[in-house]
Structure 1
């Protein structure tokens, strides 16, 4: 998924939005879902994805901020609903001709807000005139919250990858920094809700996976290869430290510690942290002044 020059994800025809619209239909039980990106500065949104519609009348519709239901949601930065779109009070009817062929009545528009900017709008709608209950609105809001988090995560990942890629000529990142970046990206992937976005991130992590021959790893006499940070974490586990204590002692985030421990357990074919320490010791990986 491309980035704009300002470092924002380009959400036009975004698979993140596609996944969120699918989730919105499932969570709310409403037959129609649609949405699209909001331009920088929240000047307008463009509906570029439709699900459950009968016509193409709403495809590529540009909605100005403050106009219609979606424009109202952008202006207020909160969900907006109507019981019957074409007769609703409190919204402008600038887009009635586009909505009418779909015979949509009850509708909710939900702004997708990341930081101080509104990035997209999702709609869920039905052709019946109903009042949405708390269950529907809570379910819809939960879908939007997950999408907001996934956008934040993917942008943060891309920023970190870009920072790793742009190294001044003649300089190289320290192996430890590369290993820590890799572990943190894996931890971020574990937190993502969108399946496709998580798979893309895991693919990036695989391409960034450190080469044991170039990153000063230790394989002892067993052929098992652990990175220096994985060894550090296991030594502290063996000393009885909790994850929080390890995080503070090594200056790592808690999720990064968990990621190192998880990968070490997998390499050692261990089902828990104590078993991982015991197997690492048996393999001669923890022998030394710090053990």
Structure 2
């Protein structure tokens, strides 16, 4: 399983975010990286001239970035080498790039610093609030993408535990799989990363196929939205809750439910779930 659907690399998304920030802010130098243990490793660079910053390890609470990681809030210095508010452990690599003003913004996911992004000027001029706000917004967007990927990793263990198992799935496992592929569909709808969206869709389809069909051919065809509604019905969700999850009106959900009942030729939500499972339409 792990060889067929892999988590896209977070650092690739961070690098893309740095390039976007460079275009949006006009800052001449940007860099950043992911937190590994208690340290930050700088593996993303835009506009750097030398190699002193490449793969540089920033310790927590050391330097401007280390302080941003530890305090989980942005930090900035206008005259880097004269600043008394940071340690100066990394003066040499900073000096090698001619950086005078520096901004560091942490990427915080569920209370844990996972990455950091820097923007710098080669003159001792302040980095404006507009640029700082753009960095903070980008950090939040990146944090959301990482959180989505974490959720994918958590859900994907279902595939590893159930794929290829010919035995009927216990109802608790079946419900968990259904809830998982519906959650992944919701996440795919809100991510801004096309690669991650494709990744989520692939996992969703694999989860939908686990244990449901059993070699049977369904007599009816449901639309993607009808399958979503039916999945939530199988989890015991009320129409109002389904409407909220799918960003639909309650009346629209009721209409989908009526359509599913008609297609399956049943008279109740419970009968619809039983028949859908019998035909392999849901897990």
TM-score (norm 1): 0.71
1:35-58 deviation line (CA, Å, top 9, x unaligned)? 112232x3x211111111111111
User: Judging changes above 3 Å, is the alpha-carbon distance between structure 1 residues 163 and 210 closer, same or farther for their aligned structure 2 residues?
Assistant: closer
User: Judging changes above 3 Å, is the alpha-carbon distance between structure 1 residues 253 and 21 closer, same or farther for their aligned structure 2 residues?
Assistant: farther
Other-structure match for 2:169: 172
**Aligned pairs for 1:75-94 within 5 A:** 75-94=70-89
Unpaired runs of at least 5, structure 2: 270-283
Query: Would you say the 8 A contact 2:229–2:256 is kept in 1?
Result: no
Other-structure match for 2:278: none
Q: What is the number of equivalent residue pairs in this alignment?
A: 253
Other-structure match for 1:123: 118
Other-structure match for 1:59: 54
Structure number having the greater helix percentage = 2
- Distance in 1, matches of 2:65 and 2:232, equals 52
Other-structure match for 1:189: 188
Other-structure match for 2:267: 289
Partner SS, residue 263 of structure 2: coil
TM-score (norm 2): 0.73
Query: Would you say the 8 A contact 2:104–2:116 is kept in 1?
Result: yes
- Distance in 2, matches of 1:278 and 1:253, equals 11
Other-structure match for 2:64: 69
Moved over 3 A (4+): 167-171, 173-180, 206-209, 211-220, 225-235, 276-281
1:53-84 deviation line (CA, Å, top 9, x unaligned)? 11111101111222211112122221110113
User: Judging changes above 3 Å, is the alpha-carbon distance between structure 1 residues 277 and 20 closer, same or farther for their aligned structure 2 residues?
Assistant: same
Candidates 18, 22, 43, aligned match of 2:15: 18
Is 1:246 matched up with 2:239? Answer: yes
User: Judging changes above 3 Å, is the alpha-carbon distance between structure 1 residues 59 and 287 closer, same or farther for their aligned structure 2 residues?
Assistant: same
Partner SS, residue 36 of structure 2: coil
State the shift of 1:233 in Å: 7.9
1:159-208 deviation line (CA, Å, top 9, x unaligned)? 01113432497562555553442222111111223333223222333444
RMSD: 3.8
1:261-286 deviation line (CA, Å, top 9, x unaligned)? 8xxxxxxxxxx959x759948x9516
Other-structure match for 1:200: 199
